[in-house]
Amino acid sequence: MRRDNWPKRTYNPAMAESIQVSLGDRAYRIHVGRGLDGLSAAVPASASKVIVTDKNVGRLYAQKISHMLNARVLTVPAGEGSKSLGQLESVFAQLLAPRDLDRQSVIVALGGGVIGDLAGFAAATLFRGVRYIQLPTTLLAMVDSSVGGKTAINHETGKNLIGAFHQPQAVWCDIAFLETLPTREYVSGLAEVIKTGVLSGSAFLAKLEQSASAIVARNDEVVTRMIADCVRFKAAVVEQDETEATGRRAMLNFGHTLGHALENLYPDRWLHGEAVAIGMVAALRLSVARVALDAAVAERVTRLLHVLGLPTEIPPELEAQAATAVMLGDKKRDGGAVGFVLLKALGEPVIQSCTIDSALLHTLMGPRDERT
Ligand code: ADP
Ligand code: ZN
């Protein structure tokens, strides 16, 4: 394999990539690179447009994008709390009150995963569905949540319980947005990148290992290639299983079962990617125990998570009982069993239904649990 798959050079605009998501009449392109060339041409001048953004992103970028698209701006508070029925009601009020929108209008989601989910769901349901464009501004949204048309808000009984599959018209991943993204948020997004590497196979993971320092330094070309590779992988999965019907798309939940449990248990302690990183280490441990994953592979992935600055440990104070309660509350539950995405080898995920019992929790929690 070539060592230098993601060369460190001055940014070359020709590096920009455009990836097709082939979904019949719902097909669209995802642009990855620096700048938003082609964005204004992609939105019909005659359509009325509304940018939905959050306070942080809006302060930095709303004026520029609003000017570029001749769009009005609707701002919501930053954070997961905005994925609520209350906030959705307020968004609809602000969308509808000026009476300037119709079925030809376009909603522009400018922000991270929270905005993509909220604005996407509003677009899915406004007038029974209007077009929307994703301008993801976090690494997590660029590599994961903006691809594939999942939109949702949370309910007090669980995350993402109210939503719709609604594919965007186009996605622009402008890496210039990442310049203002706080380090912790950027690193959190890297967890989904590593997840993609694990699911995709050894070659992808090797690229990540070889480029680790350039990734941390946010080198333009390396980051562009890395995002494009993740988008290509996810687009292919979504093309095979758009609505998570065959199990193929469910593979993307690798590390998410325990990750979601940790997020639910301790809502303010971890960012999504951090919880998923811990969940991946647990899933790797379970994979070694249940589906004979080579322990050296588990070790290799754990090391990469660590090198890129992600947490890998389940904290000792995490109580097995509480984890059980939350895991059984997961919407994918099936009797007393939970469908875990495990790994037979790099690039070979399998879904295994695991009964939640003390042996399973013991393996998930890792060796430190033996002390308690
Ligand atoms: P995620 O994309 O991880 O699901 P959010 O949508 O909640 O998460 O975004 C994470 C945080 O980062 C929010 O506080 C948001 O306002 C902020 N943010 C998003 N994009 C940028 C950016 N490009 N620069 C600075 N802050 C940003
Ligand atoms: Zn995720």
Which tens digits make up the pLDDT trace of 70-80? 999 999 999 99
**pLDDT score, position 330:** 57
When the pLDDT of each residue in the chain is averaged and rounded to a whole number, the result is 91
Rounded Cα–Cα distance for residues 170 and 206 (Å): 30
Segment 154-182, tens digit of pLDDT: 999 888 999 999 999 999 999 999 999 99
**pLDDT score, position 63:** 98
Token pair for 29: 């392109």
Domain span at 25: 13-182
Segment 128-158, tens digit of pLDDT: 999 999 999 999 999 999 999 999 999 998 8
208 and 332 in one domain? yes
Segment 43-54, tens digit of pLDDT: 999 999 999 999
In the beta sheet, which residues pair with residue 157? none
**Which one has a higher pLDDT value, 329 or 16?**
16
135 and 225 in one domain? no
Is residue 206 included in any domain, yes or no? Answer: yes
**pLDDT score, position 328:** 67
CA of 216 to the centre of ligand 1 (A): 18
Rounded Cα–Cα distance for residues 251 and 254 (Å): 6
Backbone angles phi, psi at 160, to 5 degrees: 55, 30
Q: Say which of 2, 3, 99, 128 is annotated catalytic.
A: 128
CA of 129 to the centre of ligand 2 (A): 25
363: pLDDT strictly greater than 90: no
The label of the residue with tokens 């969940």 reads 279
**pLDDT score, position 329:** 64
**pLDDT score, position 10:** 62
**What percentage of residues in the chain have a pLDDT greater than 90?**
77
Rounded Cα–Cα distance for residues 174 and 109 (Å): 13
Report the domain count for the chain. Answer: 2
325: pLDDT strictly greater than 70: no
20 and 157 in one domain? yes
- Which of 159, 182, 205 corresponds to the end of one domain? 182
177 and 221 in one domain? no
217 and 177 in one domain? no
Closest-CA residue, ligand 1 atom 27, reads 181
Task: Return left, alpha or beta for 244; rule: phi > 0 is left, psi -120 to 50 is alpha, else beta.
Answer: left
Closest-CA residue, ligand 1 atom 1, reads 113
CA of 188 to the centre of ligand 2 (A): 10
Q: Say which of 192, 221, 242, 263 is annotated catalytic.
A: 192
Is residue 1 included in any domain, yes or no? Answer: no
**pLDDT score, position 4:** 54
Rounded Cα–Cα distance for residues 334 and 118 (Å): 28
Q: Are the C-beta atoms of residues 281 and 312 closer than 8 Å to each other? A: yes
Is residue 166 part of the annotated active site? The answer reads no
249 and 154 in one domain? no
148 and 33 in one domain? yes
User: What CATH number is given to the structural domain containing 169?
Assistant: 3.40.50.1970
205 and 354 in one domain? yes
Token pair for 210: 């070889």
Is residue 253 part of the annotated active site? The answer reads yes
Rounded Cα–Cα distance for residues 17 and 165 (Å): 25
Q: Which residue type does 156 have?
A: E
Q: Are the C-beta atoms of residues 206 and 64 closer than 8 Å to each other? A: no
Is residue 2 included in any domain, yes or no? Answer: no
369: pLDDT strictly greater than 70: no
93 and 61 in one domain? yes
Rounded Cα–Cα distance for residues 87 and 76 (Å): 8
Which residues, 6 or more positions from 5, have their beta carbon under 8 angstroms from its beta carbon? Answer: 207, 210, 211, 225
Alpha helices in 241-337 (DSSP H): 256-265, 272-291, 295-307, 320-328
User: What CATH number is given to the structural domain containing 291?
Assistant: 1.20.1090.10
**pLDDT score, position 315:** 73
202 and 160 in one domain? no
Is residue 73 included in any domain, yes or no? Answer: yes
274: pLDDT strictly greater than 90: yes
In short, whether 114's Cβ falls inside 6 Å of ligand 1 is yes
**Which one has a higher pLDDT value, 356 or 170?**
170
Q: Model's pTM, two decimal places?
A: 0.93
**pLDDT score, position 372:** 43
The label of the residue with tokens 């070790």 reads 299
**pLDDT score, position 334:** 56
143 and 47 in one domain? yes
Rounded Cα–Cα distance for residues 369 and 372 (Å): 6
Which residues, 6 or more positions from 253, have their beta carbon under 8 angstroms from its beta carbon? Answer: 332, 341
Is residue 244 part of the annotated active site? The answer reads yes
In short, whether 82's Cβ falls inside 6 Å of ligand 1 is no
- Which of 124, 157, 182 corresponds to the end of one domain? 182
Rounded Cα–Cα distance for residues 135 and 253 (Å): 23
172 and 305 in one domain? no
Is residue 8 included in any domain, yes or no? Answer: no
Segment 172-218, tens digit of pLDDT: 999 999 999 999 999 999 999 999 999 999 999 999 999 999 999 99
Is residue 150 part of the annotated active site? The answer reads yes
Q: Say which of 166, 195, 260, 285 is annotated catalytic.
A: 260
Is residue 71 included in any domain, yes or no? Answer: yes
CA of 111 to the centre of ligand 1 (A): 6
Is residue 128 part of the annotated active site? The answer reads yes
**pLDDT score, position 247:** 87
- Which of 160, 182, 204 corresponds to the end of one domain? 182
Is residue 249 part of the annotated active site? The answer reads yes
Q: Point out the ligand 1 atom lying closest to the alpha carbon of residue 79.
A: 7
**pLDDT score, position 6:** 65
Ligand nearest to the CA of 257: 2
In short, whether 118's Cβ falls inside 6 Å of ligand 1 is no
300: pLDDT strictly greater than 80: yes
Is residue 287 included in any domain, yes or no? Answer: yes
Alpha helices in 113-182 (DSSP H): 113-125, 139-140
Is residue 7 included in any domain, yes or no? Answer: no
**pLDDT score, position 327:** 67
In short, whether 143's Cβ falls inside 6 Å of ligand 1 is no
